[in-house]
Structure formats: structure tokens, C-alpha cells
Amino acid sequence: VLEVEIHSPRFSGGGWLAFPALKAAYKHVQLEIEFRPEVWDGILFLTGERDDLAGDFMALLIHQGFVEFRFDCGSGVGVVRSLETVILNQWNRITLYRHRWDAWIQLNSGKHVQGRSKGLFSRMTFREPVFIGGRGNTSGLQDKLPTDHGFKGCIRHLQINDYLYKFAPVPKGDAVKGFDIEECAADRCSKVPCQHGGKCLTSADSAVCLCPLGFTGDLCETRLDLQVPAFNGSSYLRYPGLGSSALSWLDLVIVLKPEDQSGIILYNGHRADGMGDFVALYFSDGHLEFAFDLGTGHATIRSSEPLSMGEWHEVRISRTGRLAVLQVDTNPSSQILSPGAFTQLYLPLNLYIGGVPNMDMVSPKVNIRTSFVGCIQKITINNRPLQILAEALAGVNVNNCPHPCVAKPCGDVAHCVPHYDAYKCVCDKHCEETNDMQTSGRLASFSGNTYLHYTDPDILSSATIKWCHNLKSWQSKVTSTSKNFIYSFYRILGNKLSINLRLRTNEPEGMILWTGRNDVKLTSSDFLAVGLKDGYLHLRYNLGSGESLIIFNETRVDDNNWHQIKATRNEQEGSITVDQGKTVSNRSPGKLKQLNTDTGLYIGGMEGMEIGTHYKYRRAFSGCVSELILNTDYRVKLAWSSDAVTHCGDIP
């Protein structure tokens, strides 16, 4: 007997609520229900003509994680089954519509699924109560339903044919009977208004929001531009399952940075209860393990050494039939054979990265019951790069990993591709066209691990070739004088150079600009650089006959304020000015007057900086660069984004 007033009932698996029999529903039923399941099986809704289900009936239930609507108009049972599984311990929503013998259901925001009952009868008679959460006094379930288990979890909303049911007993509510129910603790979520589609999750004494992709904060109130995903142990990303694409072979490449020694990185299974085929990649006591089951026994392969935490690692997994190979970084690979004779793998459920929504879906042969903590920047499946964020069907509590790409150094149209702690910018045709607009190229932010590299001839030379007697000798004539070759080199290469830029930094050391020779064995080869030493700016260059170093020591520039820099070179004469102060000049030794480099122009740093600069620089620039202009007429297109403005302040 129902003795307590219930607003949002919780069912223990053996309880139920009863409401009066449906009226005026013989031809048409529209139902909405919101529920928070704790297990993969259970009856949500049941009603019919007789208490033994011998006549007409309708049943809405969860079976092996999928939602099923079973109904019989008197001439045969029809079954409509969702394409997706429910999400355990989170609020789910089912919309059901039946018109005569046709029906369709929708789980959450998934696809509509349609079905039809058997035979020609299309009307239904309802004489029995509407039971919620269990079977009530109904018998004969074994012949008509795949489960007779009661629902375990909470229900907070039930609406049938536009009537919103109240779960309290009559007269305050609509319940006429009930058994073994209590108030749902998850109703604490009514005080935690998660925004932007966030889902509320309760524990013994609290409620927290699980935020969807692209949002963060206590209430999911903050929009997040995800670049490199970070997982915190309650996070995951969900993708379409591998299905039959991994029948005979599976090749995985994952670049990750772990922060905890245990946790599931990747999981794809065959059944929602964890039984059957599966693949899993996870950390166990700091070691990486790959486990799989083809149906005749599982196999687990383990890295020989534990992985270092807080560092990037590349993991390669290859499975062909029963044979699996695991390699971490450049360490020797390990391999294993799965037992039995089966060689194929079928995985129809969703693929999860970074964790899973509920550990009950994980095979009991996987000995880890926690989710991954750390960052993942690259996943390749069967030689196809996975767009980690763009291809995700859904995600929960995914944040940004601390990485240079988060600052969007490639701008709003180019794509930042992470490479461990560095990155590269990938620009398609549309990006190239957009980069010509006036809105781009004004400001770049550098973290000490980032740089820009230019090889555009317009930046390096803007040479004009008038006439050349022997085309085969063009390369040598570019770096020498010839009566048969009229040329004019501006900007970086050649006889003259003019650099105007603004910068802002609070670091006393760093390489700001560099152009040199690719042959690092030539220690006296040509180069030109602008850099910082002890907070003071300098210009240094070598035209092939000796180095010149010009230091502007009147003004320190590591005060986090914007400073205007002008550096010039006219043959051997060089000069530098800061903030329109006095000009400091010097002259390079020897007789050579031209700068001949082939590395292109680097801004902010470069790969292999110490060797590439002959140990003249050991640290990259950290700060902001604005308005880089060469030869007074060419504005270099720096990477620009709103995030760069956030880091650097207003453009001067």
C-alpha cells in the first residue's frame, strides 16, 4: 500500500506504482517518460486487457540496455526496439507514439524507430491498471516479454495522451496503489539546473553536472572551444562502433598523455552487459594493457615497462586474426595469441574513448573499473585518422588539455594539428583565400613551444629576374654578381633589410626571429636573428665573413608592455631602435655584403633550435608579436584569433 507522498519515485527492482486504466486509448496512444536507470533490464510501463496478458497489451521495457515497445492488438505481438542503449545513472527520455497497429519510439535525441503489430486487428482494449516500474499483479510475462524484472531506478515524468501524471497517491496525485518505492535521491538535481543539455549525476550527498561536448563549469554554463581533449575520470567520448570493420584485422595508433596509472582508454563491446566479443585498451598500475575476446577466450597483452605519467606517448596496436601486437613509443613490441579457433571480431555497440558511462557494460575480463585521466591528441583506426571531436556522437565532462593549440595559434580558419607539445597549422584552399582578408594576420601568441615558419618567396626576396644568359647557372647567379643577371633582392635576402614589429613579453630570454642555412656544419654560414638576452633586445647577423652583434641596452623589454622595434641592415651596416629611442649601429667584418640563407623565416622559435642556431639560442620566445612588416611594404600574415587577443590584450 502506498503510504508516503512521492514526487519522483525510485524503484528497487521489485516495486511498482498503479494508475487507473487508460481511457479513450483504443486507437491512439502518445506517451512520454523520463527515467534514470541503474541496471540494463526492467519493466517501465505495462497495461492491458487482462492480468495474464492473454489479450491486448502494451509494454515498455529495457532489455540488455535497449528500449523495447511490445504491443498486441489481438492478433500478434509487434516489437519496436531502439537503436541506442540507455545511459545508466543519467536521465533518459522516451517518446512513444502508437496509432492503431503502427508505432514508433525515440530514445533521447536518437533516431525514430518504427514497427507494426501482427495481424489485421488494430484496436486495443484496456481494463487493467497502468503499472509503472514493475509488473504489479500481472502474470504470464514469460511468454510475452523478454524480461520479468522490475525497473531499478527513478522516474520523474510520465505523460500519456497529454495527461501529466502525478506520482503521489490520490487525492493529491493519481497513484491508486504502490509497493516498495521511495523518493528518488536524484531529485537533488532539481536544485542543480545544468545548462546547455548537461546531465545531473547524484552521489550519496551531492549532485553534479556532467557537461556535453563544448561546455564546462559547475552548471555547464561556460562555452568551451575544444582543441585537445582532456579526460578527468568521469569523462568519455562516444562514437559509432567498429561493427564489422574490424572483423579480421584492427590497427590502432593513439597519442596520449596519462596522468593516472589506472583507467580505461578505449572500449568497444558486443553486448550491453559486457558479455561476448570486446576490445579494450587501458592502464593498469602504470602499464598499458590491450585485451580482446573473439568469442573463444580473451587474451591480454601488457607493456613491458610502466609508462611515465605527464608525458606524451605513441601507442601502436595491430591485431590480425588471433594475433595482437603492442608497441609503446620506440620500445620493443610484444605480442600474444588469443585462445580457441575463432578469428573474427564483431562489435555492434558504440565505441568509447577516454572512459565509459557505466562500468557494467565493460567485460568482466577487464580488471580495471575506472576511466582514463589525461589527454588524447591523436587516434588512427585502420589507417584512417579519427576526427576526435568532430566525429564524436556525444561526450561528457571533456575539457581542454593544456596545449599550445588551445590558444588557436593558427587562427580561426586554419586547423591546429597537435604534435606532442608542439603543433603545425594545416590550411586548406578556403583557408588560404580567407587569409588574404584584412581581418587576419595581425597578432600571434607564442608559448615557448610554438613558432611560425615562412618559406614564401615574397617574404624572403621579391627578386625580379630581367635576363639570364645561361639558365643552368641561375642558382649560382642568385648568390653572386653577374653582368648577365639583373636582380633586386629586398626584405630578407640580399643587400638590404628592414624589420618593423611590436612585441610584448615578460621573459628575459628568447629567439624572436631567425633565418639561416640548412647546412648546420657551416658554423660561419650566413644568418640573421633578432632575440632577447637578459631582457634587452639585439640584432645579430653574419654575411659570411664574420658576425655582428648589436645590443639595445637602454630599455628592457621584458616588462609585459608593448614595445615597437625597428631593425635595419644596409649591406654590412646594421642598426636597431626600441620605442623610437636612439639608434644603435654596428658593422659586420670582412667584405661580404649579401645575406644568403635557405631556411626560410622563423618567428618565435624553431625545431632543433640549439643546433639550428649553432647554440646562439637555447630558448624560444614567449609572448606576443604584432604588426611584423618587412621593407616597409610587406605585412607578414601572423596567425590571428580572438584567443590570441585574450592572451595578448588589445592590438597596439
Contact of 545 with 572, CB cutoff 8 Å? no
Q: Which residue has the higher pLDDT, 127 or 390?
A: 127
Task: Return the C-alpha cell found at 70.
Answer: 511490445
Distances (CA, A) of 335 to 180, 295, 341, 389, 562: 53, 19, 18, 31, 57
pLDDT-derived band at 212, boundaries 50, 70, 90: confident
CA distance 346 to 17: 40
pLDDT-derived band at 205, boundaries 50, 70, 90: low
CB atoms within 10 A of CB 362: 20
Residue 419: alpha-carbon gap to chain centroid:
15
Cross-strand pairs, 207: 202
Name the most confidently modeled range: 283-287, 395-399, 612-616.
283-287
Task: Return the C-alpha cell found at 151.
Answer: 525497473
Task: Note the pLDDT tens digit of each residue in 99-154.
Answer: 888 999 999 988 999 998 887 787 888 899 999 998 888 787 888 899 989 999 99
pLDDT of residue 4: 56
In the chain, the percentage of residues whose pLDDT exceeds 90 is: 46
Phi-psi region of 501 (alpha: psi -120 to 50; beta: other; left: phi over 0): beta
Spatial CA neighbour of 651 closest among 507, 531, 503, 530: 503
Model confidence at 421: pLDDT above 60: yes
User: Residue 268: how many CA atoms within 13 Å on its side-chain side?
Assistant: 21
Q: What is the CATH number of domain 9-186?
A: 2.60.120.200
pLDDT-derived band at 193, boundaries 50, 70, 90: confident
Domain spans in the chain, listed from the N-terminal domain onward? 9-186, 192-225, 230-400, 457-648
pLDDT of residue 549: 95
Contact of 599 with 518, CB cutoff 8 Å? yes
Contact of 135 with 46, CB cutoff 8 Å? yes
pLDDT of residue 633: 63
Read off the pTM.
0.46
432 DSSP assignment:
H
361 φ, ψ (degrees, to nearest 5): -85, -10
Model confidence at 257: pLDDT above 70: yes
Distances (CA, A) of 561 to 80, 231, 502, 564, 576: 66, 36, 10, 10, 19
CA distance 88 to 360: 9
160 φ, ψ (degrees, to nearest 5): -125, 125
pLDDT-derived band at 21, boundaries 50, 70, 90: very high
**H or E stretch at 255:** strand 249-258
Name the most confidently modeled range: 10-19, 46-55, 513-522.
10-19
Mean pLDDT of the 283-309 span: 94
pLDDT of residue 389: 82
**Three-state secondary structure of 604-652:** CCCCCHHHHCCCCCCCECEEEEEEEEECCCEECCECCCHHHHHHHCCCC
Task: Note the pLDDT tens digit of each residue in 351-360.
Answer: 999 999 888 8
CA distance 524 to 526: 7
Mean pLDDT of the 590-604 span: 88
Mean pLDDT of the 49-78 span: 90
Domain 230-400 in CATH 2.60.40.1180? The answer is: no
Look over the chain and give the mean of its residue pLDDT values, rounded to a whole number.
Answer: 84
pLDDT of residue 412: 64
Spatial CA neighbour of 107 closest among 163, 18, 182, 32: 32
Residue 10: alpha-carbon gap to chain centroid:
35
Domain 457-648 in CATH 3.20.20.70? The answer is: no
Mean pLDDT of the 417-435 span: 65
Spatial CA neighbour of 363 closest among 282, 269, 236, 263: 269
pLDDT-derived band at 632, boundaries 50, 70, 90: low
Task: Note the pLDDT tens digit of each residue in 330-349.
Answer: 999 999 999 988 989 999 99
pLDDT of residue 477: 29
Superfamily of domain 192-225 in the CATH hierarchy: Laminin (2.10.25.10)
Contact of 599 with 614, CB cutoff 8 Å? no
Contact of 559 with 573, CB cutoff 8 Å? no
CA distance 80 to 103: 7
Q: Matching CATH topology for 9-186 and 230-400?
A: yes
Task: Return the C-alpha cell found at 283.
Answer: 592502464
